[in-house]
Amino acid sequence: MKVLVVGDLVGNTGLNKLREILPNLIEAENIDFVIVNAENVAGGMGITTRDFSILDKMKVDAITMGNHTWGKKDIFSFIDHPKLLRPANYSKGVPGKGYGIYQCKGKKIAVINLIGRTDVNVQSENPFTRIDEIIDEIKNDVDMIFIDFHAEATAEKIAMKYYIDGKVTAIFGTHTHVQTADEEVTKNGTGYITDIGMTGPKHSVIGMDIDASVKRFVTSLPERYKLAEGDASFHGCIFEINEETCKTKKIIRLAID
């Protein structure tokens, strides 16, 4: 089985790039299941009804979010859709769900969305203790577990890898928008990469307009961010899974301009 994970969609540029790349990629690589992080798809912050509708009509099986989950009020009208996941360690009682269980090729696949706490300006529960709870809840009901860990600190993501090594099929990082070159399959068969990268404007500062971003750093003034325009890049990974053991056997990083 092959599972494709796509890095943070940024704006219409990222969404259009996904629409362009995904059909041919699924066919060429025989992709069985697709996970997309879409927390930046609506102008860089959140997701709208329009964006979700477009993704829902594509061959996308699960849509994960992050620190901009509530960036657009539209989300409350479709927050309970089976495909949509918000961080599972948000405060108890908030709308939506933190994980979903899906059927694919006779297997039950759990997709879990987590958010980090280091240098992330969102109040959340401890992702380490929360993942323990979720794994205990679902481990007897699913064959594979994939985690999108939306976190800023590389150390927090790497620590999570070691913490749940062998308990999940794969864990991949999102949020920093820069693809890392540290993909690995652990000795216990868990696939891992610190960040899968961004699908959005290529010539940008993590998706944002270059001039506006540079001005913020040079002057320390609160220059308003705006999305960059122009050509797009597509970033993500393919996790190849052994269907008998349900463990990762290979990871392929994707960077398509």
Task: Give the residue numbers marked as catalytic.
Answer: 68
Under a CB-based contact definition with an 8 Å cutoff, are residues 98 and 85 in contact?
yes
Evaluate the CA torsion angle 18, 24, 25, 30 in order and state its sign. positive
Under a CB-based contact definition with an 8 Å cutoff, are residues 228 and 207 in contact?
yes
* Cβ neighbours for 119, distance < 8 A, ≥ 6 positions apart: 152, 153
119 forms beta bridges with none
**Burial class (CB within 10 angstroms; exposed 0-12, middle 13-18, buried 19+) of 37:** buried
